[in-house]
C-alpha cells in the first residue's frame, strides 16, 4: 500500500466510501450506496455490541449506523450541500475532504495519546458518534449519538466479583470461534481472563500468541504468558516485533486513521495470524471497565466536587517538551496545554453522572478512539476478532460498579481478584509488571535518513520545525546513548510530518473537488 517516488502519493486505494451532493435540482452520487463493516448480524441501533458500522442510500436519504459504543471507525465530512462517509479517514482526504488542521485536537492527542469525542486531526472531518442515528437528505444533515450512562448500583464487592465472573463466562460463550482460534496473550489481566475462560469452558484456543517487544523495550510479557500457557497446556507462539521502518509506520498510521502514534507492534501479530487462525480473541475495554485505571483518591474527590479542570490538568504531562520546541509557533498556540486542558475538561464533564466517571471517560475516549484500532483496523484485517468485554450485558453491569469499589493502591486489584477467584488453579502464575523498561538498542538509521529527507522536502507551513527535528535525527544516528529514545521520537516526528503531508494534499484535492 505504500509507494515512494519523487513524492509521497499513498492514500487509501480500494477503501469504501460514498459521496452525495445536491447540485441545483439534481442529486449526484459517487461510491458504494450501501456498505457494512464488522459484525453486521448485530447491526441494530442500540443493541449491537460487537463493533460494526454501515450506511445505506435509498435514492433520497443517506442513513448511517454503528454499534452502541462507536468502536468501529467511521468518518464523514459535510459542507455546501455535500456529504461523504468512509471507514478510512485518508480516503475522505483523497476524494476532497477539507485538509485544515485541527490543532486543538492534535494538542490533546500529542499529550495523552488519544483523541477525544468525535475529533480528528482535521477540522472538517468528524468521527461518527457512538450509537449513531445519522441521516442526510436534501442537503440537510442530522447527527445523533450517545454514551451509555451507568448509574451506581448498591452491591457488595463479593457480589460484584461473582456477577463479573458469570457475565464474562456468558460473553465468551456467545462468541464461538470460526476456525482455529488464538488469543492475543500478554502478561496482564484482560487477555488472561479471556484465555482462562476459553480453557475452563472446554474450548481452549489452538495457540496463545505474544509479541516480543522491540529491542529497546524490556517487559515480562513473554515470560508471564509462557508460564500461563504451559500450565493450561496450550501452545505458546512468540512473535518478534518488527524493527521500526519508515514504510511500516507510514502504512500503520494510514490504517489507524492518523489517530495515534501507537500500535506499531501489532503488525507482527497481524502477519503471524493471517492464514493460521480464523478467529482471534482480544481484550479491548477490559482495563478501563474493571479497574481503577488512571484513577486516584485525589481525582475521585475532584470528580465528586465537580472540579473537572483539576482532573484535566492532572491527566496532562507537566513537561511539554518536545512540543514547545517541535511545533511551529502558530500551531503551538492553538495546541497549547491550556487549550488541551479546556477540551479535556469539557469531555470529562460529560461523564460526571456515571458510576465510575474516569473509567467512563477512558472507555468512550481512550478505548474507543485508540485501543479499539488494534483489534478492528489491524487484527481485523487478518481474522475474525471477538472482543468479549464489549458484550452488552457485561458492559451494562460493569459501568454500574461504583468507582470507589475499584479504587485501590494497585489499580488492577479488583480484576486480579476476579480472575483468581474464577480460576484458582492459575492463581500462582505471576502477572507481568505494567511498567516497561527502556534499554539501549541499535538506531533505526534508514528510518532516520528517510525522516530527514521528508522533513527537508515537506511544503510549508509544516507541523514540525526543521530546526528541531534535523539536529536530533543526526544525533540519534551518531550517539548510541540516545538510542532508547529514538523509536518513540522517530514515530512522533513521522506522525506530524505525515499529518502535515495529508493536510497539504487534502487541501489541494479540495480545490478540485466537485461542489
DSSP for 408-447 reads: -SSTTHHHHHHHHHH-GGGTTSPPPPSPPEE------HHH
Considering the domain 157-291+352-438 in this protein, what is its CATH number? Answer: 3.40.50.620
Average pLDDT over residues 80-96: 95
Contacts of 375 (CB under 8 A, 6+ apart): 280, 282, 284, 385, 387
Q: Give the model confidence (pLDDT) of 403-461 as tens digits.
A: 999 998 788 899 999 999 999 999 999 998 755 555 556 667 788 888 999 999 887 76
Partnered with residue 143 across adjacent β-strands are 134
- How much is the pLDDT for 506? 60
pLDDT (0 to 100) of residue 33: 96
DSSP for 210-229, written as a single string: EEEPPTTEE-SHHHHHHHHH
Average pLDDT over residues 476-493: 79
User: C-alpha 205: how far from its chain's center?
Assistant: 25
- Pairing, β 75-79 against β 82-86: antiparallel
Which of the residue ranges 28-42, 115-129, 339-353 would you say has the lowest mean pLDDT? 28-42
Phi, psi at residue 107, to the nearest 5°?
-60, -35
Q: What is the mean pLDDT of residues 464-493?
A: 83
- Domain extents for the chain? 18-146, 157-291+352-438, 445-499
Q: What pLDDT digit, counting tens, does each position of 169-216 carry?
A: 999 999 999 999 999 999 899 999 999 999 999 999 999 999 987 665
Is residue 49 pLDDT above 80, yes or no? Answer: no
Res. 481 pLDDT band, cuts 50 70 90? confident
> Which residue in the block uniquely carries the three cell numbers 495470524?
273
d(CA 219, CA 431): 11
Q: For residue 266, give the H/E element and its range.
A: helix 266-273
Q: What does the pLDDT look like over 311-349, one tens digit per residue? A: 999 999 986 667 888 999 999 999 999 999 999 999 999
Q: What is the mean pLDDT of residues 461-488?
A: 82
3-class DSSP state of 30: strand
Quote the pLDDT of residue 320.
Answer: 67
Using DSSP, state whether 15 is helix, strand or coil. Answer: coil
Residue 132 grid cell: 449513531
pLDDT at residue number 444: 74
Q: Pairing relation of β-strands 26-31 and 126-127?
A: unpaired
Q: Which residues contact 238 (CB under 8 A, 6 or more apart)?
A: 209, 210, 211, 212, 222, 226
Q: How far is CA 109 from CA 105, 117, 262, 312, 377, in A?
A: 6, 12, 11, 13, 19
Q: pTM of this prediction? A: 0.91
Contact 211, 239 (CB under 8 A): yes
Cell 507551513 belongs to 461
Chain-wide mean pLDDT for the chain?
88
Please provide residue 64's backbone torsions phi and psi, each rounded to the nearest 5 degrees. Answer: -125, 130
Per-residue cell: 496: 506530524
Percent of the chain whose predicted confidence (pLDDT) is above 70: 89
Which among 510, 283, 230 is positioned nearest to 390, based on CA atoms? 283
What's the pLDDT score for residue 47? 45
* pLDDT at position 43: 39
Amino acid at each position: 500500500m505504500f509507494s515512494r517516488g519523487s513524492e509521497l502519493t499513498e492514500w487509501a486505494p480500494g477503501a469504501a466510501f460514498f459521496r452525495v451532493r445536491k447540485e441545483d435540482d439534481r442529486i449526484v452520487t459517487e461510491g458504494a450506496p450501501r456498505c457494512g463493516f464488522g459484525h453486521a448480524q448485530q447491526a441494530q441501533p442500540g443493541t449491537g455490541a460487537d463493533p460494526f458500522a454501515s450506511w445505506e442510500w435509498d435514492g433520497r436519504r443517506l442513513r448511517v449506523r454503528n454499534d452502541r459504543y462507536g468502536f468501529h471507525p467511521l468518518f464523514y465530512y459535510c459542507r455546501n450541500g455535500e456529504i461523504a462517509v468512509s471507514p478510512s479517514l485518508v480516503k475522505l482526504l483523497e476524494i476532497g475532504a477539507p485538509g485544515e488542521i485541527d490543532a486543538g485536537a492534535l494538542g490533546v492527542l500529542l499529550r495523552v495519546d488519544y483523541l477525544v469525542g468525535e475529533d480528528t486531526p482535521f477540522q472538517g472531518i468528524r468521527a461518527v458518534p457512538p450509537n449513531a442515528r445519522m441521516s442526510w437528505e436534501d442537503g440537510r444533515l442530522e447527527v445523533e449519538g450517545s454514551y451509555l450512562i451507568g448509574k451506581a448500583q448498591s452491591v457488595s464487592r463479593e457480589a460484584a466479583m461473582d456477577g463479573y465472573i458469570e457475565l464474562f463466562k456468558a460473553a465468551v460463550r456467545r462468541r464461538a470461534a470460526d476456525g482455529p482460534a488464538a488469543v492475543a496473550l500478554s502478561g496482564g489481566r484482560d487477555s488472561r481472563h479471556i484465555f482462562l475462560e476459553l480453557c475452563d469452558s472446554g474450548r481452549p484456543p489452538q495457540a496463545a500468541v505474544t509479541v516480543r517487544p522491540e529491542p529497546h523495550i524490556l517487559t515480562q510479557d513473554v515470560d508471564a504468558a509462557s508460564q500461563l500457557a504451559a500450565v493450561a497446556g496450550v501452545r505458546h507462539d512468540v512473535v518478534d516485533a518488527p524493527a521500526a521502518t519508515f514504510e511500516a509506520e507510514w502504512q500503520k498510521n494510514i490504517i489507524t486513521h492518523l489517530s495515534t502514534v501507537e500500535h506499531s507492534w501489532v503488525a507482527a501479530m497481524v502477519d503471524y495470524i493471517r492464514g493460521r487462525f480464523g478467529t482471534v480473541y482480544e481484550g479491548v475495554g477490559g482495563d478501563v471497565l474493571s479497574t481503577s485505571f488512571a484513577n486516584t483518591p485525589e481525582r475521585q474527590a475532584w470528580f465528586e466536587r465537580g472540579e473537572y479542570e483539576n482532573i484535566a490538568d492532572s491527566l496532562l504531562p507537566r513537561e511539554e517538551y518536545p512540543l514547545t520546541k517541535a511545533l511551529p509557533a502558530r500551531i503551538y498556540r492553538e495546541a497549547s496545554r491550556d487549550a488541551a486542558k479546556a477540551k479535556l475538561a469539557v469531555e470529562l464533564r460529560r461523564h460526571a453522572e456515571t458510576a465510575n466517571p474516569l473509567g467512563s471517560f477512558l472507555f468512550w475516549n481512550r478505548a474507543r478512539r485508540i485501543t479499539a484500532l488494534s483489534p478492528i483496523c489491524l487484527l481485523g484485517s487478518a481474522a475474525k476478532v471477538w472482543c468479549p468485554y464489549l458484550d452488552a450485558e457485561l458492559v451494562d453491569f460493569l459501568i454500574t460498579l461504583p468507582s470507589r469499589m475499584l479504587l485501590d493502591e494497585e489499580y488492577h486489584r479488583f480484576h486480579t481478584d476476579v480472575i483468581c477467584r474464577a480460576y484458582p488453579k492459575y492463581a500462582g502464575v505471576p502477572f507481568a509488571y505494567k511498567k516497561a523498561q527502556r534499554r539501549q538498542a541499535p538506531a533505526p538509521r534508514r528510518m532516520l535518513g528517510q525522516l530527514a529527507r521528508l522533513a527537508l522536502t515537506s511544503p510549508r507551513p509544516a507541523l514540525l520545525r526543521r530546526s528541531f527535528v534535523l539536529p536530533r535525527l543526526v544525533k540519534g544516528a551518531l550517539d548510541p546513548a540516545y538510542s532508547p529514545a529514538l523509536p518513540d521520537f522517530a514515530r512522533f516526528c513521522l506522525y506530524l510530518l505525515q499529518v502535515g503531508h495529508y493536510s497539504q494534499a487534502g487541501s489541494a484535492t479540495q480545490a478540485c473537488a466537485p461542489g
